[in-house]
Amino acid sequence: MNNNIDWQKEDLKYIWHPCSQMKDYEQLPPIVIEKGEGINLYDINGKCYKDVVSSWWCNLLGHCNPEISASLKKQADKLEHVIFANFSHKGIISLCMRLVKLLPEGLSKFNFSDNGSSAIEMAMKMSFQYFQQTGKSEKKRFMALSDAYHGETIAALSVGACDLYTKIYKPILMDVIRIKAPDCFRCPFGKNRDNCSCECFVYAQKQFEKYGKQTAAILVEPLLQGSAGMKIYPALYLKKLRDICDKYDVHLIADEIATGFYRTGKMFAVNHAEISPDIMCLSKGLTGGYMPMAAVVTTNKIYEAFYDDYSKGKAFMHSHTYSGNPLGASCALAVLDILEKGHIQKHIQDLRPYFNNLIKEKFLNMKNVGEVRSIGLINAIELVKDKKTKEPFSSGLRLGYQIYKKALKKGVLLRPLGDVIYFNPPLIIEKKDMDYVVQVAFECAKEAISEL
């Protein structure tokens, strides 16, 4: 390899990075990573960055996890890929056999794709086609919460509601029925998420009363609206949602892409509410962040509406080249091997209060911290202009981005969501790293706010 290559210059010459205004890269060039280990990333100059956002929330068990790496290497010498129509392989079958034991009751039929957005599209098409084939053709619409994020393909954007991603595309998006989401920090009923009765569910009731008969499905991020700023709401809301979906014969689609695999402290976020959705979407942590893979899991009842003679035209004609990829399956099986040992769950249980208390002790007395919220090892700090009124900072100040840049200089990858600093680390993070990243985040937040 030519050691004289200017890798940053060559990157900017060819690459259009995702979710970026490339003009920003004039001041903050791309950081070229050489290797990873645990929660650490190392750039080509040897500088270490603590990855406490799990590289877009997918790195579940640390970079270059030896067990997942070994499984992937072994599989690569046996079978790299095979068409998934009329063909299968032991890895993907084994994965389904093991996952079905961990999933909420009733979820037993798996359809695979290669990313979360595609999984959302599949789930929506599956729900729509189900009703078209079961004599309820009036059910053509979808419901979703305000501030939702479900991906960035057209249908996924349609059910999403974060203007940063959707605003420019609104003229070409689907007409989705929107429900005002729970906002526990700025609750319009003056309640607290720890002791409320989900009075805010009245917004969902009104929309179901008005549109329930024409709705095929509602999509929801269970308990945690990630891209909205790690907004956390009570499990009771999901219970009420399950009940009203049953009443109006509406499918409940649980988007567990970001919340699955112990991110919220339980295997799946819906487990907190002890409910089963009609369709569940999985990705990110499924393979530990190693390989692109997503799964849409549904019930026998939905599956049977597609099962008929070919001439009836009821088949689910949705496919992805990399559906059920053997390499992805090998990584997912290794992830389950690790999780089934139980030490990760104990690690989360032991360190969750330490991490949250550490953050509260450091941040809660800051005059511009509105709230510290947490679930599992996920912690979020919402910065506000006025603590009493909860007035946010002007988005034009880009406060979160200023904190991000400062933290990078100190070797911590934060990437705030607007003005919400958050930690969503690999589940293997240790106390010493918690201490360091929280201190860096605190220092950078204080410094950035003082410069406003």
DSSP per-residue codes, 83-106? --SS---HHHHHHHHHHTTTSPTT
CB 326 within 8 A of CB 149: no
How is residue 351 annotated by DSSP?
A: H
Q: Which domains does the chain have, with CATH numbers?
A: 31-64+342-450 (3.90.1150.10), 69-340 (3.40.640.10)
Q: Both tokens of residue 140?
A: 């053509």
| Tens of each residue's pLDDT in the chain, 452 residues | 567 899 999 999 999 999 999 999 999 999 999 999 999 999 999 999 999 999 999 999 999 999 999 999 999 999 999 999 999 999 999 999 999 999 999 999 999 999 999 999 999 999 999 999 999 999 999 999 999 999 999 999 999 999 989 999 999 999 999 999 999 999 999 999 988 999 999 999 999 999 999 999 999 999 999 999 999 999 999 999 999 999 999 999 999 999 999 999 999 999 999 999 999 999 999 999 999 999 999 999 999 999 999 999 999 999 999 999 999 999 999 999 999 999 999 999 999 999 999 999 999 999 999 999 999 999 999 999 999 999 999 999 999 999 999 999 999 999 999 999 999 999 999 999 999 999 999 999 999 999 99
Which of 236, 228, 225, 171 lies closest to 199 in space, CA to CA?
236
CA–CA gap between residue 263 and residue 435 (Å, rounded): 20
Pairing of strands 378-383, 420-423: antiparallel
Helix, coil or strand: residue 136: coil
Pairing of strands 48-51, 109-113: unpaired
**pLDDT of 2:** 61
Helix, coil or strand: residue 237: helix
Helix, coil or strand: residue 251: strand
**pLDDT of 80:** 98
CA–CA gap between residue 50 and residue 40 (Å, rounded): 5
CA–CA gap between residue 437 and residue 423 (Å, rounded): 9
HSE, CB side, 13 Å, CA atoms: give it for residue 226: 24
**pLDDT of 3:** 73
End-to-end CA distance of the chain: 45
How is residue 371 annotated by DSSP?
A: E
3-state helix, strand, coil in the chain (%, to 5): 40, 15, 40
HSE, CB side, 13 Å, CA atoms: give it for residue 354: 12
Q: State the Rg of the chain over Cα.
A: 22
